[in-house]
Structure 1
């Protein structure tokens, strides 16, 4: 792929990432994504075979980036301490209010049952890998999985409520349940 085509593809991926984070994988249109990238719809199919293919690639890329950031936590810390540290960030006002750098799961999980199977496969792989990263032993895997569910659900609810006291309470309550 030549440099100009690669740069254009990256612009499309960046615009799709922002759209997915804000509105999930189903709702944004090709026209919206291409417009946000400063491009016309006509050039889309030179880069992707379909909108679903674009959104699946972006979804997978975003989840991979989240796991890479998680890997930066000190692996010498006990697993429960890593989960508490992750929860402190993940269930924060800053993360709740992040419009372009947050986790895509809260805006996406409700739609995944209606998306092509590839989305669920990517989600399942992500959850398995995250669980492994957050569990210090096989015995802790279920607790790590429960903590992931609590974090994603808590953040989804807090984002749905928007900034405010009840949303802040949801964040605090979810965070305090991860011990």
Structure 2
């Protein structure tokens, strides 16, 4: 790849990264092209060298935002080697995750938009849901029961984080995170307890 092609690819990647962060923070409708290009250190006029339209950029950035979560979820599961699901729960429902939506899980911020979005966004969202379900079920034995528990766990994680970010009362926000985390971990310890 020549220097100009490499520079163009690097510029395009910067715009995608900036946009992925901003849509996690603000949703799909807020960031304007001029602001995104400026934040990426580029001029508004260069936008069409990289993307066919704002919708094209948003769709690609949303897919990137969703994909970036996989590595974070895998790292979270490795924070507690004895109980990987506990590590995942604790990392996901942490106050730091709540307070940093720009680097957080895009399932939370893009759920409603994906539900109303085009087929490409729905497919990207579904891919990420399936990836997370596989990861969570794989922390157990991967059986049908583990898959059902993974669905419950993922739904509780995403729902708790969404509500914790949305409520005005900081105490309720903290309580949503800690209560859901505690209940999910209790379910896990109950499910993994040996039969008498």
The two structures share one fold, judged by TM-score above 0.5: yes
User: What's the secondary structure of 1:27's corresponding residue?
Assistant: coil
Q: Which residue of 2 aligns with 1:132?
A: 134
Structure with the bigger RCO (C-alpha within 8 Å, sep 6+) is 1
Q: Which residue of 2 aligns with 1:148?
A: 154
Q: Which of the pair has more CA radius of gyration?
A: 2
User: What's the secondary structure of 1:49's corresponding residue?
Assistant: coil
- Please state how far the C-alpha of 1:169 moved relative to its aligned partner: 0.6
Q: TM-score, normalised by structure 2?
A: 0.81
Q: TM-score, normalised by structure 1?
A: 0.88
Per-residue deviation, residues 43-81 of structure 1 (Å, max 9, x unmatched): 11110122222222222222222212333434x968xx3
The answer to whether residue 65 in structure 2 is matched with residue 59 in structure 1 is no
Which of 93, 107, 110 aligns to 1:108? It is 110
Q: Which residue of 2 aligns with 1:46?
A: 49
Question: Could you tell me how far apart the structure 1 residues matched to 2:72 and 2:175 are?
Answer: 26
- Please state how far the C-alpha of 1:152 moved relative to its aligned partner: 0.7
The answer to whether residue 120 in structure 2 is matched with residue 118 in structure 1 is yes
Question: Could you tell me how far apart the structure 2 residues matched to 1:71 and 1:111 are?
Answer: 25
Please tell me the root mean square deviation across aligned C-alpha atoms, in Å.
2.2
- Between Structure 1 and Structure 2, the one with more helix by share is 2
- Please state how far the C-alpha of 1:99 moved relative to its aligned partner: 4.5
User: What's the secondary structure of 2:132's corresponding residue?
Assistant: helix
Moved more, 14-23 or 88-97: 14-23
Q: Is the 8 A contact 2:28 2:113 kept in 1?
A: yes
- Please state how far the C-alpha of 1:26 moved relative to its aligned partner: 2.9
Question: Could you tell me how far apart the structure 2 residues matched to 1:95 and 1:163 are?
Answer: 17
Count of aligned positions: 177
Q: Which residue of 2 aligns with 1:34?
A: 37
Question: Could you tell me how far apart the structure 1 residues matched to 2:168 and 2:91 are?
Answer: 17
Q: Which residue of 2 aligns with 1:19?
A: 22
Moved more, 145-154 or 54-63: 54-63
Distance 1:93 1:123, change over 3 A: same
Question: Could you tell me how far apart the structure 1 residues matched to 2:43 and 2:169 are?
Answer: 35
- Please state how far the C-alpha of 1:14 moved relative to its aligned partner: 2.0
